Structure 1
Amino acid sequence: MTSWVAIDFETANARRASPCSVGLVKVKGGRIVEEWSSLIRPPDGHDHFDAFNVGIHGITADRVRDAPGWPETLEHIVRFAGETPFVAHNAAFDIGVLADTSQASGLRVPDLRFACTLVVARRTWTGLLAYKLPVLADALGIELPHHHDADDDARAAAQVMLAALRRQGTATLDDLLAVHRIQMGSYRGGVRQGCRYRGAARREPYPDAEPNADPDNPFYGLTVCFTGSLPDMTRTAAAERIAAFGAWTAPHVTKFVDLLVVGGVEPRQLAPGAKKTGKLAKAERLRDAGHDITVIDAEEFHELLAVAEG
């Protein structure tokens, strides 16, 4: 697999079946050879534009009023990709958008394969505290002019995967994933199999969390801590939602915390002279000491919720 297509979607609201733009970047033989992007008119019933999403990408209902609908867009995506696999940063979200929108539009989910640059990056560059696309782009010297422009994000994701291939000295996606013990994701006959690392010990849900949660969801078995405020929910509500997926919320950052969610913080909430919360500072110290803790922001938390709740 020396050819593949990086894909990125932006959505109108928290539902994955609400795409309002897409970017595609085709890679052949280690270089980008073709690009395509388009606004999308979300399917009826999924076309509400939430202020949170508009604030992220700047796309409004007026801008997509005359844009192609999903059937036409899906046809172009399938034709553009051909038989090659897809690549996306947090592919569970972007491939979930493709699948959920197809189902919401009464269309068959096309058979496809996909790899996730987020999963690959966590195995390739193990010293980073966060793996958000702009963080990776900055660390790797990749240009990302406008985060949340679908074409710019797709191009950056393509370049992240190319950088991982170069770092590992592999020529194909299959070889790279095999080295890192990562399973290629797929949709076959409407059945989804995620792209995930296969070398980790099996996680178990916490006793106070939902014991019947899907073990493949992104929160399963994690200890999560919050710092700062989330834009549209309280920490208590957030803790209840992730408990339904087998996670547990810790009040403080310790070496047992897997994931720190950093929300908005007012300067008056910080200690005198501090530029970050005490929890974030401690997470950085723990990471430097070798503990496996990841930091995400509120936007990434919402994406993970969309994946888990999809």
Structure 2
Amino acid sequence: MTSWVAIDFETANSLRGSPCSVGLAKVKEGQIVEEWSTLIRPPDGHDHFDAFNVGLHGITASDVEDAPRWPEVVERIVQFAGDTPFVAHNAAFDMGVLADACEASGLPVPDLRFACTLVIARRTWTGLLAYKLPVLTDALGIELPHHHDAGADARAAAHVMLAALKRQGTPALADLLAAHKIQMGSYRDGVRRGCLYRGAPPRKPFPDANPNADPDNPFYGRTVCFTGSLPGMTRNEAADRIAAFGARTVDNVTQAVDLLVVGRIDPAKLAPGAKKTGKLAKAESLRDNGHDITVIDAEEFYELLAVAEG
């Protein structure tokens, strides 16, 4: 597997089956050899544009009025990739977009394989506090001129994967995954198998969370803390939603916390002279001292919710 296709979707709203643009970057023998991107008119019933999403990517309903529909786009995606795997940053989200758009359009999900640069990056570059694509590309010196431009994000994800392969000393995707105990994701006959790290001890849900949650969802067994405000959602609502997936929420950052969600910060509420909240500063201090804690923003939190709820 020295050939693969990096893919990135942007969506019109919080529904995963609402793609409004896609970018693809084909890699062969360590080089990007072809790129393609297009706007997409989302499937009917999934075609409203939320202000939060428009604020991220700038695409509006009027921009996609004459764009191709999903059946045409997914056919082009499958043809572009051929029999090679897909690669995406937070592949569970992007592959979920593809699958849900097919379902919303009355189409079968094509059989495919995929690997996640987010999962791989966390095993390859273990000293980072956050692994969002702009943070990661900045740390690796990879150009990302326009985050949330699907073509630019797909190209950046391709370069992240190439950097991980180079660091491992192999051109083969399968060898990289095996070295880090990561399983390849897939859809087969409509059944999804995630791209997941399998080297950690199994997590357990907390007594006050849902004990029957899917153990492969991104919140299962995690201790989560919030700082700042989430657009369109209170902290109590967020805590209730992730409890359904086997997570618990705590008020303060301690060594028990492994996920800090940073929402919108009101500068007036910061301590005099401070540029970040006390919770974020504590998370950085814990990470510097070897504690395994990850920081995500509101956008990543909503993407993880979409994955978990899908």
Q: Shorter-normalised TM-score: what interval?
A: over 0.9
Q: For residues 286-308 of structure 1, give each alpha carbon's deviation from its aligned partner in whole angstroms, at most 9, with x where no partner exists.
A: 00000000000000000000101
In the alignment, which residue of structure 2 is the partner of 1:51?
51
Give CA-to-partner distance per residue, 1:59-91, whole Å, 9 cap, x none: 000000000000000000000000000000000
**Pairing 1:265-276 to 2, within 5 Å after superposition:** 265-276=265-276
The DSSP-based 3-state class of the residue aligned with 2:260 is strand
AA aligned opposite 1:147: H
What amino acid does structure 1 have at the position aligned with 2:124?
T
- Cα distance, 1:250 vs. partner? 0.8
- Deviation string 1:174-203 (CA, Å, 9 cap, x unpaired) is 000000000000001111000000001000
Tell me the equivalent position of 2:130.
Answer: 130
Distance in 2 of aligned mates of 1:197 and 1:78: 26
Instruction: Quote the residue 2:263 is aligned against.
Output: 263
Q: Please give the residue correspondences for 1:202-281 in structure 2 after superposition, counting only pairs within 5 Å.
A: 202-281=202-281
Q: Deviation of residue 216 (structure 1)? A: 1.0
How far apart are the structure 2 equivalents of 1:171 and 1:162?
A: 8
Percentage of matched positions with identical amino acids: 81
Q: 1:227 Cα shift?
A: 0.2
Provide, for residues 113-133 of structure 1, a one-character-per-residue CA deviation record: whole Å limited to 9, x for no partner.
000000000000000000000
1:97 maps to 97
Structural mapping, 1:1-310, within 5 Å: 1-310=1-310
Aligned AA for 2:194? G
What is the DSSP-based 3-state SS (H/G/I as helix, E as strand, rest coil) of the residue aligned with 1:13? coil
Counterpart amino acid of 1:259? L
1:10 maps to amino acid: E
Question: Offset at 1:143?
Answer: 0.3
Deviation by residue 1:233-274 (Cα, 9 ceiling, x = unmatched): 000000000000000001100011010000011111100000
State how far apart, in whole Å, the 2-side matches of 1:151 and 1:252 are: 38
Matched residues in 1 for 2:136 and 2:208: separation?
35
- Cα deviation 1:39-66 (Å, max 9, x = unaligned): 0000000001000000010000000000
What secondary structure is seen at the aligned counterpart in 2 of 1:197? coil
Match of 1:234, as an amino acid?
Answer: T
**Distance in 2, Cα, partners of 1:231 & 1:147:** 20
Secondary structure of the equivalent of 2:154?
A: helix
> Would you identify which runs of 4 or more consecutive aligned residues in structure 1 move more than 6 Å?
none
For residues 186 and 254 of structure 1, what CA distance do their matches in structure 2 show?
36
SS at match of 1:8: strand
Choose 79-88 or 263-272, whichever is displaced more.
Answer: 263-272
Q: Which runs of 5+ in 1 are unaligned?
A: none
Output the CA distance in 1 between the equivalents of 2:133 and 2:141: 12
Task: Give 1:171 deviation, angstroms.
Answer: 1.2
3-state SS of paired residue (1:253): coil
Secondary structure of 2:192's aligned partner: strand
Whole-Å Cα distance in 2 between the matches of residues 58 and 11 of structure 1?
11
Within 2, Cα distance between the matches of 1:191 and 1:44? 24
Query: SS in structure 2 opposite 1:177?
Result: helix
Q: What are the Cα deviations for residues 91-141 of structure 1, in whole angstroms up to 9, with x where unaligned?
A: 000000000110111101000000000000000000000000000000000
Under a length normalisation based on structure 2, what TM-score does the superposition of the two structures give?
1.00
Specify the SS of the correspondent of 1:106.
coil
RMSD: 0.4
Supply the distance in 1 between the matched residues of 2:45 and 2:193 (Cα, whole angstroms): 27
CA distance in 1, matches of 2:127, 2:211: 32
